[in-house]
Structures are given as C-alpha cells and as structure tokens.
C-alpha cells in the first residue's frame, strides 16, 4: 500500500477547531462554577458566622473554669488542625496550644463575651508546619487549568487524526492513486472505523472497475489494429488491380488516421491509469529511433547538450516525439531539425519546422485537446484530429515537465517539451 505524508493545513485546521472548542468549554465551566460558588457564598458565610457564635458561647460558659476551658481549647485545636491562643480582656496570654498566634498571623479572631462584657479574645491560626503561602491556591488553580488545557490538546489531536487520514486518503485517491487505503490502527474506534471501512471498500471497487475498463480499452484497441491492417492490405490489392488511385489514397489516409487515433488512445489510457514503465534512457537514442520510424534522415537530429540521460517511459516518450514530428510535417511544411537542448535547466526535445510560423495567440492554444489550428476540412485532410499535441503535453507533465511553442527569428515554429530533472537511476 502507498504511504502518504500528512497535510499540515488539513491537520492544523481541524485540530485548532477542536482545541478551540475544548478551551471554550473549560472557560465556560469555570465561569459556571465560579458563579455558583459566588451565589452560594452567602450561605457559607452565614454558617461560618453561626459557628463563630457557637464557639464564643462555649468559651464564655467555661471561661471561669480553667480545666474545662483548656480541654475545650485543645479539642478545637485537635479537631480543626489549628493553633489556638487565649487572651484575657487586658491582652495577657492565658493559654496557647502551639506556637504564638497573634494578629496579623491569626486566621480568625473570636471575641468572647458574656452579657455584653468582654471576657477575652481567642485567636486561631494554622498549626506549625501547616502555614500556606497566599499564592498556593492560585497556583493550584493554574496548574489544574494547564493540565486540562494540555489534555484537551491531546484529545483534539486524537480525535482529529482519523479525519486527517481519511481526508488525505481521499485526496490521494482523487489524484489517481487507486491503491490508497486507510489504516487507522489504534485509532479505529466507533464511527471512524466504520467510515474507514466504507472508504476502503469504495476505493477497492473503483480500483477494480478502473482496471476492468483499462483491460477493455486495451483489448478493443488491440482488436481494432487487426481490421486496420486488413484494410491496408485491401487498399494495396485495389491499387495492384488498377483501382482508382485517388480513392486508394483517401482510403489509406483514413486507415492511417484511425491507426494513429488507436495509438493515441492507448497512450492516453496508460496515462489515465498511471501505467508508466520508468527506466533509465538516453535521449539521443530516443530521438534517433523517432526519426527512423517517421522516415526522416538521421542528420535531422542535433544534440546541443552534454547530459542526455533521463528516466521515463520509452513508449510514451516515443509517441510524444512522433506526434511532434507529424505535426511539423503536416502543418509546418516539413521538419527542419529535431534538437536536444537544455531549457531552464532541464532536458528538452524541440522540433523546428519550415512553415510560416504560428499566428499570434496560437502558442497558448496549440496544446489544447481538439484544437486543429486551421478550419475543418484542411486539417482533416492533413491528418489532424487535434489530439496529438494535447497528448504530448500530458506525456511531458507525467514526466515532470511541460510543453512550449514559439516562433523562430529565422522563420518557422519551434514546438517541444521538457522533462523533469535528470536521474540516471530509475528508482
């Protein structure tokens, strides 16, 4: 199966949205909790006030009994984990349970009254070793929020990862990589697993159907070649029998045109289905073979670059060169030269013709499908279907290059294509 890299844009966008929603949810929860605590704060204060009144009354009852007062004070200190210190009305320390506990260290101050007369004051504060800095509570809240924030980031990543894989797999499948499948691994849970399974089944069906269509097209194209060959034989027999020469020429032209169309359909189907057989090639050999097949002299080739190595599909590149040469012969009044040059740092094949050149604006439209340059019948008789140069562009782009067309200063047109960076290794 094909492995594909992550698209940072898709991943970041989905994760940011999930992370933003988690953050908003945490903030909303904090606001709700804070509002609830504020709303119930009055009740807490009332309860604390009643507790203070109860403690003051109990101290007032045993104030004049040192034993009972000491026992009560120690019970409070033990149960509430605080240090308690008692002062009389003059401020003299009567008793304490631990370290000195006076303002401003006291957690709270409790006046002890009896019938409106002040008996003394009780101070309570955190016991020794239990004193907490004032910043500890905000720090605890901050750490809790940071932990939740990081957890939400991890959760957003975990939720977004299956969607990343599905989106990228759909992109790969849309680009023609029919062997693409989604493997969620440990992320395959719930609906994501069902969706991934449905995607894989769809991709398998598409790959199977496209394979069947490819085989059908190849079979039909191959079968068409047989009657075309028979037609050529019949044309020759008609000529030998003294049949009309003009009719024989027209029939032969139609057969050649059909044969060319079948070849272009086969090449186009290989591009559609990504059936490229890449291997190390030499551009000079490719160009020489193309000239030989089209019946042009070897002197037509001009090699103007030192590095002629390339990696590509020999059949498709041969088809592209044949189409360029046929275009020059059919529309450019003959081939002036087939050149191997370096263009923008890339290896390029270009064919120069002997014609009047390209009309203004035709350079951009020359490689459009079904564009013939000249109106109907004349192009038809010249053997042009408007597919040859369009196929050249597709072949060039499949090899990492592109096409170009321009007029030469000395007259005629120059039409060709570039290839991707040279690499002597076919891997």
Q: Which helix (H) or strand (E) holds 121?
A: strand 117-126
Burial class (CB in 10 A: 0-12, 13-18, 19+), 73: buried
According to CATH, where is 1.10.287.130 located in the chain? Answer: 181-275
Closest CA to 83 of 51, 126, 133, 131: 126
Residues 6+ apart with CB under 8 A from 24: none
According to CATH, where is 3.30.565.10 located in the chain? Answer: 276-418
Please provide the DSSP assignment of 270-311 as one string: HHHTT----EEEEHHHHHHHHHHHTT--GGGEEE--S--EEE
Dihedral angle over CA of 154, 159, 162, 165, nearest 10: -60
Whether 413 contacts 405, CB under 8 Å: yes
Say how far apart CA 307 and CA 185 lie, in whole Å. Answer: 47
Say how far apart CA 335 and CA 329 lie, in whole Å. Answer: 6
pLDDT at 221: 65
User: What is 276-418's CATH topology?
Assistant: Heat Shock Protein 90 (3.30.565)
Cα angle, residue 421 at apex, residues 418 and 425 outer, rounded to 5°: 125
Say how far apart CA 58 and CA 407 lie, in whole Å. Answer: 111
pLDDT at 337: 92
| 147-175: b (≥16 Cβ within 10 Å) or e | ebeeebeeebeebbbbbbbbbbbeebbee
Residue 102: Cβ within 10 Å count: 15
pLDDT at 367: 83
Q: Where are the alpha helices (DSSP H) in 63-135?
A: 66-80
The domain over range 181-275 is classified in CATH as 1.10.287.130: yes
Say how far apart CA 97 and CA 78 lie, in whole Å. Answer: 9
| 296-330: b (≥16 Cβ within 10 Å) or e | beeebbeeebeebebbbbebbbbbbbbbbbbbbbb
Q: What is the pLDDT along the chain (427 residues), one digit of tens a residue?
A: 444 444 454 456 666 666 676 777 777 777 777 676 666 555 656 666 777 788 888 888 888 888 888 888 888 888 777 888 888 888 888 888 877 776 666 667 888 888 888 888 888 886 554 455 566 667 766 777 777 777 777 666 667 777 777 878 888 887 777 788 888 776 566 677 788 888 888 888 888 877 776 776 666 666 666 677 777 777 777 777 776 777 777 777 777 667 667 777 677 766 766 667 788 999 999 999 999 988 899 999 999 988 889 998 888 898 889 889 988 888 888 899 999 999 888 999 999 999 888 888 787 778 887 666 654 334 444 445 567 888 899 899 888 899 999 998 888 899 999 998 754 444 4
Chain center to CA of 349? 34
Long-range Cβ contacts of 283-286 (<8 Å, 24+ apart): 283/308, 283/309, 283/310, 283/340, 283/347, 283/349, 284/308, 284/340, 286/314, 286/317, 286/318, 286/321
Please give the span between the terminal C-alpha atoms of the chain, in angstroms, as a whole number: 17
């Amino acid at each position: 199966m094909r492995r594909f890299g992550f698209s940072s844009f898709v991943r970041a966008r989905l994760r940011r949205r999930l992370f933003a929603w988690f953050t908003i949810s945490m903030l909303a929860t904090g606001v709700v909790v804070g509002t609830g605590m504020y709303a119930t704060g009055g009740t807490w204060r009332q309860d604390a006030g009643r507790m203070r009144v109860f403690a003051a009354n109990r101290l007032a009852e045993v104030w004049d009994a040192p034993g009972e007062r000491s026992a009560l004070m120690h019970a409070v200190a033990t149960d509430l984990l605080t240090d308690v210190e008692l002062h009389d009305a003059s401020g003299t320390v009567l008793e304490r349970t631990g370290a000195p506990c006076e303002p401003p260290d006291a957690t709270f101050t409790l006046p002890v009254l009896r019938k409106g007369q002040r008996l003394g004051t009780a101070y309570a504060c955190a016991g020794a070793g239990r004193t907490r800095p004032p910043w500890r509570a905000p720090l605890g809240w901050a750490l809790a929020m940071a932990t939740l924030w990081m957890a939400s980031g991890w959760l957003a990543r975990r939720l977004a990862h299956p969607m990343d894989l599905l989106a990228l797999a759909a992109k790969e499948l849309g680009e023609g990589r029919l062997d693409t499948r989604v493997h969620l691994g440990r992320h395959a849970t719930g609906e994501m697993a069902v969706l991934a399974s449905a995607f894989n089944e769809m991709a398998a069906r598409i790959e199977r159907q496209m394979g069947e269509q490819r085989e059908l097209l190849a079979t039909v194209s191959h079968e068409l070649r047989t009657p075309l060959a028979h037609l050529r034989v019949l044309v020759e027999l008609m000529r030998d029998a003294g049949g009309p020469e003009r009719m024989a020429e027209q029939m032969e032209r139609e057969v050649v045109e059909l044969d060319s169309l079948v070849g272009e359909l086969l090449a186009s189907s290989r591009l559609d289905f990504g059936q490229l057989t890449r291997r190390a090639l030499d551009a000079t050999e490719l160009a020489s073979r193309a000239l030989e097949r089209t019946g042009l002299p070897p002197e037509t080739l001009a090699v103007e670059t030192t590095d002629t190595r390339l990696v590509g599909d020999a059949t498709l590149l041969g088809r592209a060169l044949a189409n360029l040469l046929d275009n020059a012969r059919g529309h450019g009044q003959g081939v002036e030269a087939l050149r191997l040059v370096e263009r923008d740092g890339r290896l390029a094949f270009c064919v120069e013709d002997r014609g009047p050149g390209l009309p203004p604006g035709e350079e951009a439209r020359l490689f459009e499908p079904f564009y013939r340059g000249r109106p109907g019948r004349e192009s038809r008789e010249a053997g042009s279907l408007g597919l040859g140069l369009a196929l050249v562009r597709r072949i060039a782009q499949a090899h990492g290059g592109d096409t170009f067309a321009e007029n030469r200063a000395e007259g005629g047109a120059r039409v060709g294509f570039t290839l991707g960076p040279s690499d002597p290794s076919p891997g």
